[in-house]
C-alpha cells in the first residue's frame, strides 16, 4: 500500500467509524424505532440482501433461523459476498459491506439493487446495532469468516475451511442495551413477512425456523415458496371471499424500464382491498404506482363498458370508487431510485411510475376483457351495482356530512364531551352499552376524557353495503363525535384528520366473549373505513382487569390467570377471587383506577403490522360464511386477541 492509499484508508475508516457511532446514537433514524418493530426490521434488512442476490438470479434458497440464544441467522445459496480486497477502501469487500454505512452492494454496478428494507439502510446498520455479528462466506472453494462487535471489526477476513458450496451466512445478536426486548422476536411476525416476500419474489424458497420452540420433537419451522407469485398472493388474501370470476387476472412485464407486476380479482364483497409494493416494501400510503393502477383500471373498464353497450340502460354516473368495489389487487413495482414521501415514508413519489403502471394495466385489462366477454359482463354488472348503491349512499353520506362539518349543531346526544379544546390532549372512549357508559362517565376525568356509549353490537361493515354503513346510527355517532368527514364520492375512505377532535380513540369493552366480539366489530369498522386513524396510531384498546383478589381489606387486580394465581398464593388462606364479567360490575372508582387513569392503565395501541394479514383476519372473522372461515372460527373459538 502506498502512503497515499494508507492515508486514504485511515481517513475512510474513521469516516466508517463515525457512521457506525451515529447509527448507535440515533438508531431510530435508520430503523424506525428500537421496539419490536425495529427488532424485526433488523432481520428484514439482512434478508433483503439475500433477496437482492436472488433477484439478480444467483440464489434460490434463503433460510432464517431464530437461535436459542435469540440471535438470528440468515443463510443463502448465492455467490457469497466477495471477500477480495476492495481497491478503494483497502479492506475486503465483505468488510466494506459490513462496516460502511450506506455501502450496500453499490460496488457491484451490474446488479442494480432493487430490494432494501423500509429505509434501505443495509446490513452495516444491523452490524452497528448488534452485540456480535459473524459473517461466513462460502466462495471459491473456501469458507471465509469475519466477526464484529457493535460494528467494530474483530479481525481481517480469514479462511476457516474448504467448501464445495457458495453462499453467505450472517448471524447477529442485537445489542441488548438498544433493543430491550430481544427475546420477544415474534415467529408470527417474521413468518408473515417471509410469506409476503415469497409471493413477491416467486421461485425463492424461504424457510423460517424457531429454535426456541419445539413442536412434537421438531423445531417450529415453515417453508414459504410460491411458483406463481402475485396470482397466489391474491388467492391467499381472498381465501375467505367468494370470487366473481374464476381466475386471477395478472401481468408481469417492463414498461419504460420499470418492472411492473399486477394481479387482481373481483369478489362478492363491498370492500376495496389493494396492496401496493415498491422494491418489496409495502407502500401503505400508496403513491404514483397506485395512481397509475387506478387510472388504468378506470379508463379501460369505462371504455370497454361504454363501447360494448353494457351501459346503455344505466342511468347513474359511474365514479372511480365503483370500479374498485369488491376488488382485491396487488401492484408490485421495482424502482431503481425510489423517492418515498408521506408521513410514514411509504408513499412513492417517482412521477414516471404512474404512466408505466397505467399502461401496463390498460394493456392487461384490454386483452382480458376482449378474451373473456362473460367475465367482462360480470365485472361491469358489479361496477354498475356499486354505482347504484353509491347513489343510494350519497343521501346517507350527505346527512352525516352535514352533521359533521357543515351543521356544527350536531354532536351526538349520547356523547359526554370533555372540556379540553386541544385534540392532542383529548381522549374518547367508545363504550359498549349505556350502563358501562354511565360508569365510565362517572369515573372519567372530564377535563380530557369524553365518553360515547354505543348501543349493543355495531353494524358488521364487512358484510354491509356502503349506504347501510352510512345509515347506521352508531356509526354516524362515531363520525360526528370524532369530527372527521366521510370521504368524498371519488374516495369514500379519505378522512379529514385535521378535524379529528381526539387524538386517542379508545375502545373499551367487557373482557368476555361478547365484549371481544364488539371490539372486533368496531376495529373492523376502523380498519375498513378509517384506516388512516389506525395507521397514525390513534386507536387503542382499553384493558380492564379480569379479577379482583381480596383478603380482608387488601385488594389487588389481576389481568390474567397467572397473576391471579400468584396473588392468591401470596395472600394465603382467606383469599377470595372476584371475576369481573363486565365493566358494569366495576364501580366508577375501580374503572378509573384500573382502566382509565393514565398513571396506572395499560392500553394496547392498535397497529397494522402487515396489511395483507390484517385484511385476511378481518375477512375471516367478519366476512361471508365460506368454509375456511368456519374452520378458522372453530379452531380459534376464543380468538379475542386481534393485534392485527
Residues that bind ligand 0RA (CB under 6 A): 49-50, 53, 76, 78-82, 105, 108, 168
Inter-CA distances, 367 with 301, 315, 591, Å: 11, 27, 61
Furthest C-alpha separation in the chain: 84
How far apart, in whole angstroms, are the C-alpha atoms of residue 385 and residue 595?
A: 45
> What Rg, from alpha-carbon coordinates, does the chain have?
27
Catalytic (active site) residue 512: yes
DSSP 464: S
53 vs 232, which CB is nearer to ligand 0RA? 53
Among residues 114 and 591, whose Cβ is nearest to ligand 0RA? 114
Q: Which is nearer to ligand 0RA, 168 or 240 (CB)?
A: 168
> Rounded to an integer, what distance in angstroms lies between the CA atom of residue 568 and that of residue 556?
10
Closest to ligand 0RA by CB, 98 or 311: 98
Measure the CA–CA gap between 297 and 292, rounded to whole angstroms: 8
Q: Is the CB of 80 or the CB of 151 nearer to ligand 0RA?
A: 80
Instruction: Choose among 636, 607, 643: nearest CA to 620.
Output: 636
Rounded to a whole number of angstroms, the minimum distance from the CB of residue 25 to ligand 0RA is 26
Catalytic residue among 45, 510, 535, 615: 510
As a whole number of angstroms, the distance between CA 619 and CA 520 comes to 11
- Least spacing, CB of residue 80 vs ligand 0RA, in Å: 6
The 3-state DSSP composition of the chain as helix, strand, coil percent (nearest 5) reads 40, 20, 35
Could you tell me if 39 and 67 are in contact, meaning their C-beta atoms sit under 8 angstroms apart? no
Q: How far is the CB of 283 from ligand 0RA (least distance, A)?
A: 24
- Return the number of the residue (82 or 326) whose C-beta is nearest ligand 0RA: 82
Instruction: Please pick, among 140, 222, 228, 514, the residue that the annotation labels catalytic.
Output: 514
Of 239, 252, 341, 512, the catalytic one is: 512
Bridge partners, 171 (sequence order): 73, 134
CB closer to ligand 0RA, 336 vs 494: 336
Sequence-distant (≥ 6) Cβ neighbours of residue 7 within 8 angstroms: none
Is 432 noted as a catalytic residue in this protein?
A: yes
Residue 419: name the closest of 501, 355, 349, 311 by CA: 501
CA 528 to CA 522: how far, in whole Å?
Answer: 10
Closest CB to ligand 0RA among residues 78, 487: 78
Sign of CA dihedral 479, 485, 489, 492: negative
Three-state secondary structure string covering 293-329: HHHHHHHHHHHHHHHCCCCCCCCCCCCHHHHHCCEEE
Q: Which is nearer to ligand 0RA, 168 or 610 (CB)?
A: 168
If the CB atoms of residues 51 and 518 are measured against ligand 0RA, the closer one turns out to be 51
Q: Please, what sign has the CA dihedral across residues 634, 638, 640, 643?
A: negative
The span from the CA of 273 to the CA of 324, in Å, is 8
Backbone phi and psi for residue 399, each to the nearest 5 degrees, phi listed first: -60, -50
The C-alpha angle with vertex 133 and arms to 132 and 137, in degrees rounded to 5, equals: 155
DSSP string, 614-636: HHHHHHHHHS---HHHHHHHHHT
- Rounded to the nearest whole angstrom, what is the least distance from the CB of residue 48 to ligand 0RA in the complex? 9
CA end-to-end span of the chain, whole Å? 56
Partnered with residue 209 across adjacent β-strands are 65, 221
How many C-beta neighbours within 10 Å does residue 35 have? 14
Q: Please list, in sequence order, all residues whose beta carbon lies within 8 angstroms of the beta carbon of residue 436, skipping any fewer than 6 positions away.
A: 453, 508, 510, 582, 583, 584
CB nearer ligand 0RA, residue 94 or residue 621:
94
Catalytic residue among 432, 462, 471, 535: 432
* CA 586 to mean position of chain CA atoms: 35
Cα-based angle 110, 116, 119 (whole degrees, multiple of 5): 130
Q: Catalytic site residues?
A: 432, 510, 512, 514
Amino acid at each position: 500500500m502506498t502512503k497515499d492509499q494508507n492515508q486514504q484508508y485511515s481517513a475512510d475508516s474513521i469516516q466508517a467509524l463515525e457512521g457506525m457511532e451515529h447509527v448507535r446514537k440515533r438508531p431510530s433514524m435508520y430503523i424506525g424505532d428500537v421496539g419490536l418493530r425495529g427488532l424485526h426490521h433488523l432481520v428484514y434488512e439482512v434478508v433483503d440482501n439475500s433477496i437482492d442476490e436472488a433477484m439478480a438470479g444467483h440464489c434460490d434458497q434463503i433460510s432464517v433461523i431464530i437461535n436459542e440464544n435469540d440471535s438470528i441467522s440468515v443463510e443463502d445459496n448465492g455467490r457469497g459476498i466477495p471477500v477480495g480486497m476492495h481497491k478503494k477502501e483497502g479492506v475486503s469487500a465483505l468488510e466494506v459491506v459490513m462496516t460502511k454505512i450506506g455501502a450496500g452492494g453499490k460496488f457491484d454496478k451490474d446488479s442494480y439493487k432493487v430490494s432494501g428494507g423500509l429505509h434501505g439502510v443495509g446490513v452495516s446498520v444491523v452490524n452497528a446495532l448488534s452485540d456480535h455479528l459473524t459473517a461466513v462466506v462460502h466462495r471459491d472453494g473456501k469458507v471465509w469468516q469475519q466477526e464484529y462487535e457493535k460494528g467494530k471489526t474483530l479481525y481481517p477476513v480469514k479462511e476457516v475451511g474448504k467448501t464445495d458450496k457458495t453462499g453467505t451466512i450472517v448471524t447477529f445478536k442485537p445489542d441488548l442495551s438498544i433493543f430491550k426486548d430481544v427475546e420477544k422476536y415474534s415467529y408470527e411476525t417474521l413468518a408473515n413477512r417471509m410469506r409476503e416476500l415469497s409471493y413477491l419474489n416467486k421461485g425463492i424458497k424461504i424457510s423460517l425456523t424457531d429454535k426456541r420452540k419445539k413442536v412434537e420433537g421438531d423445531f417450529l419451522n415453515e417453508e414459504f415458496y410460491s411458483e406463481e407469485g402475485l396470482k397466489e398472493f391474491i388467492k391467499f388474501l381472498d381465501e375467505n371471499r367468494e370470487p366473481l370470476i374464476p381466475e386471477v387476472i395478472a401481468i408481469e412485464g417492463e414498461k419504460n424500464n420499470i418492472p411492473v407486476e399486477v394481479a387482481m380479482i373481483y369478489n362478492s364483497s363491498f370492500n376495496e382491498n389493494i396492496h401496493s409494493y415498491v422494491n418489496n416494501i409495502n407502500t401503505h400510503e400508496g403513491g404514483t404506482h397506485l395512481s397509475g393502477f387506478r387510472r388504468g383500471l378506470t379508463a379501460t373498464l369505462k371504455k370497454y363498458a361504454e363501447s360494448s353497450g353494457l351501459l346503455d340502460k344505466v342511468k347513474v354516473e359511474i365514479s372511480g370508487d365503483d370500479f374498485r368495489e369488491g376488488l382485491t389487487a396487488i401492484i408490485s413495482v421495482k424502482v431503481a431510485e425510489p423517492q418515498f414521501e408521506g408521513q410514514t415514508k411509504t408513499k412513492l413519489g417517482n412521477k414516471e411510475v404512474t404512466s408505466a403502471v397505467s399502461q401496463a394495466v390498460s394493456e392487461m385489462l384490454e386483452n382480458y376483457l376482449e378474451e373473456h366477454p362473460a367475465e367482462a359482463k360480470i365485472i361491469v354488472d358489479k361496477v354498475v351495482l356499486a354505482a347504484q348503491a353509491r347513489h343510494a349512499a350519497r343521501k346517507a353520506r350527505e346527512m352525516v356530512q352535514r352533521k359533521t362539518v357543515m351543521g356544527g349543531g350536531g354532536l351526538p346526544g349520547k356523547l359526554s364531551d370533555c372540556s379540553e379544546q386541544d385534540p392532542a390532549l383529548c381522549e374518547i372512549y367508545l363504550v359498549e352499552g349505556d350502563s358501562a357508559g354511565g360508569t365510565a362517565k362517572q369515573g372519567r376525568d372530564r377535563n380530557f376524557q369524553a365518553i360515547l356509549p354505543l348501543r349493543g353490537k355495531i353494524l358488521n361493515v364487512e358484510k354491509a353495503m356502503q349506504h347501510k354503513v352510512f345509515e347506521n346510527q352508531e356509526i354516524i355517532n362515531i363520525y360526528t363525535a370524532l369530527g372527521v368527514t366521510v370521504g368524498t364520492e371519488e374516495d369514500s375512505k379519505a378522512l379529514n384528520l385535521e378535524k379529528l377532535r381526539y387524538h386517542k380513540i379508545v375502545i373499551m369493552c367487557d373482557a368476555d366473549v361478547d365484549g371481544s366480539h364488539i371490539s372486533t366489530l368496531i376495529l373492523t369498522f376502523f380498519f375498513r373505513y378509517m384506516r388512516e386513524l389506525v395507521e397514525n396510531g390513534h386507536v387503542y384498546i382499553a384493558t380492564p382487569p379480569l379479577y379482583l383478589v381480596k383478603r380482608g381489606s387488601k385488594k389487588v387486580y389481576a389481568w390474567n390467570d397467572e397473576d391471579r394465581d400468584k396473588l392468591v398464593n401470596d395472600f394465603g388462606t382467606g383469599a377470595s377471587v372476584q371475576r369481573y364479567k363486565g365493566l358494569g360490575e366495576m364501580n366508577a372508582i375501580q374503572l378509573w383506577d384500573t382502566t382509565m387513569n393514565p398513571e396506572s392503565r395499560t392500553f394496547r395501541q392498535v397497529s397494522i403490522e402487515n396489511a395483507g394479514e390484517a385484511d385476511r383476519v378481518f375477512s375471516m372473522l367478519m366476512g361471508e360464511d365460506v368454509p375456511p372461515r368456519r374452520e378458522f372460527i372453530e379452531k380459534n373459538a376464543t380468538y379475542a386477541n386481534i393485534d392485527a
